[in-house]
Amino acid sequence: MAALTVLGVVFVVLPGVVVDHDLAGAHIAPQDRLNAVNSVRTMLLQAVGGLVVLFGAYATWRQLRVSQDSLRATQEGHVTDRFSRAVDQLGSDKLDVRIGALHALWRIAEHSVRDRDAVISIQAAYLRTHLPWPPTGPDGPAAEVPVNDVAPLETRAADAQVALTGLGVLCEHREQSWVNLSVTDLRRADCDGLWLPEVNLDRACMEAASLYHANLTQASLVSVNLRHADLKTAILRRTRCVLSDLRGARLVETDLHEGDFTGADLREANLRKADAAGAVFHQADLRQADLRGTDLSTADLTQAQLDGALASEHTNWPAGFDPATAGVVVTEDPGPEPAPLLQPPALATHHPPLRSRP
């Protein structure tokens, strides 16, 4: 009743009052006054109609926000349930259940930015606890087993390979700075093309690991075992490889720009056509290494051992450095590098024994 009364006043009484106020006592024909009253009434109707439309739009927007908040809360609840279920399944005794849980976490991280760093931390913790170095469990190969007798990681620990691959994919868009994979057993791991920048791999064993075209920018590889590792075309810009064992490693066309290899063992390593501009090889052992076509023009070779290392006319040395005095053997350039031969899954490359002593 109150609403009807207000509408009656607005549309019946108010137009006449407005017209009389504007006339200020002047006399006009009844028809003209009626037309003026109807004009005012029309404007009031349009104003009220606009207010109704605005109110309806506001009510619709509020309802949409409530619906979106409700949907978001429901989705987050589903994500939380899936997250909790996947974490619980990581402790299963069945390998396929653990692999499924790792894939579920991977999928959650791809669709939920707020959960990505948490999933990366879980994957890293999974690798540290399931693949400690040196090995502690009876199932995995012992630390002293020759690398040619060690099965690829995807064969001996398929769940760990899934965790490593997922971590290396998700790290491309992570927000946290450091990821801890230190002191892990990653022998013969498949890290081809993975993103591992600013990852802590200190004291890990990555012997014969495949790191083809991997991104290790600013990673920490202090005292890491990288013997026979394949790092062709990998990115090691500003990477710390202090005291690391890179004997027999393949660093062909690798980006070593400003990397720190202080005290590293690079005997018999293949650094052909690598970009080592600004790299530090202070007290590094480069004996019998292949440096043909390597850019060492601004590298620090202070107290580096180069006896028996191979070089060619395309090797760029620092200004004032005499390779002959250092014991470098100049030979022909090998020419273009062959295309990489990717090994089929579960097949291990046979690595010849190193000529250098431990």
| Spatial separation of the C-alpha atoms in residues 155 and 100, rounded to whole Å | 16
**Is residue 116 within 8 Å of 173, Cβ to Cβ?**
yes
The more confident residue out of 253 and 335 is 253
Judged by average pLDDT, the poorest of 2-16, 88-102, 197-211, 232-246 is: 2-16
Please, which pLDDT band fits residue 178 given cuts at 50, 70 and 90? Answer: confident
What residues form DSSP beta bridges with 240?
220, 260
Find, among 169, 157, 192, the residue nearest to 120 by Cα.
169
Query: How much of the chain exceeds pLDDT 90, in percent?
Result: 65
Please, which pLDDT band fits residue 177 given cuts at 50, 70 and 90? Answer: confident
| Spatial separation of the C-alpha atoms in residues 146 and 70, rounded to whole Å | 58
Judged by average pLDDT, the poorest of 28-32, 60-64, 296-300, 312-316 is: 28-32
3-class DSSP assignment, residue 36: helix
Judged by average pLDDT, the poorest of 110-114, 222-226, 304-308, 324-328 is: 110-114
Task: Retrieve residue 326's tokens.
Answer: 């250092």
Please, which pLDDT band fits residue 162 given cuts at 50, 70 and 90? Answer: very high
| Spatial separation of the C-alpha atoms in residues 213 and 215, rounded to whole Å | 7
**Is residue 335 within 8 Å of 194, Cβ to Cβ?**
no
Q: Is the pLDDT of residue 67 over 90?
A: no
One-letter amino acid identity for 232? K
Please, which pLDDT band fits residue 29 given cuts at 50, 70 and 90? Answer: confident
Exposed / middle / buried, residue 283 (Cβ in 10 Å: 0-12, 13-18, 19+): middle
| Spatial separation of the C-alpha atoms in residues 99 and 122, rounded to whole Å | 14
Task: Retrieve residue 16's tokens.
Answer: 């006449």
CA Rg value for the chain: 36
Q: What is the pLDDT of residue 37?
A: 66
Span 181-201, mean pLDDT? Answer: 96
Decide the pairing of beta strands 179-180 and 199-200.
parallel
Span 34-40, mean pLDDT? Answer: 70
Q: What is the pLDDT of residue 101?
A: 96
Q: Which spans in the chain are helix H?
A: 2-8, 14-23, 30-89, 95-111, 113-130, 153-156, 158-170
Q: What is the pLDDT of residue 344?
A: 55
| Spatial separation of the C-alpha atoms in residues 293 and 240, rounded to whole Å | 23
Span 186-197, mean pLDDT? Answer: 96
Segment 91-125, tens digit of pLDDT: 999 999 999 999 999 999 998 888 999 999 999 99
Judged by average pLDDT, the poorest of 14-18, 62-66, 138-142, 351-355 is: 14-18
Span 261-267, mean pLDDT? Answer: 98
The more confident residue out of 316 and 8 is 316
Please, which pLDDT band fits residue 52 given cuts at 50, 70 and 90? Answer: confident
Segment 291-304, tens digit of pLDDT: 999 999 999 999 99
Span 162-187, mean pLDDT? Answer: 93
Please, which pLDDT band fits residue 342 given cuts at 50, 70 and 90? Answer: low
Q: What is the pLDDT of residue 45?
A: 73
Span 19-44, mean pLDDT? Answer: 69
Residue with tokens 């499924």: 100
Q: What is the pLDDT of residue 239?
A: 98
| Spatial separation of the C-alpha atoms in residues 310 and 321, rounded to whole Å | 15
| Spatial separation of the C-alpha atoms in residues 305 and 309, rounded to whole Å | 9
Q: Is the pLDDT of residue 28 over 60?
A: yes
| Spatial separation of the C-alpha atoms in residues 141 and 143, rounded to whole Å | 7
Judged by average pLDDT, the poorest of 9-18, 56-65, 264-273 is: 9-18
Task: Retrieve residue 50's tokens.
Answer: 């606009």
| Spatial separation of the C-alpha atoms in residues 335 and 293, rounded to whole Å | 9
CA distances (Å), origin 133, targets 128, 143, 306, 311: 9, 8, 31, 36
DSSP letter at 141?
A: P
Span 253-282, mean pLDDT? Answer: 97
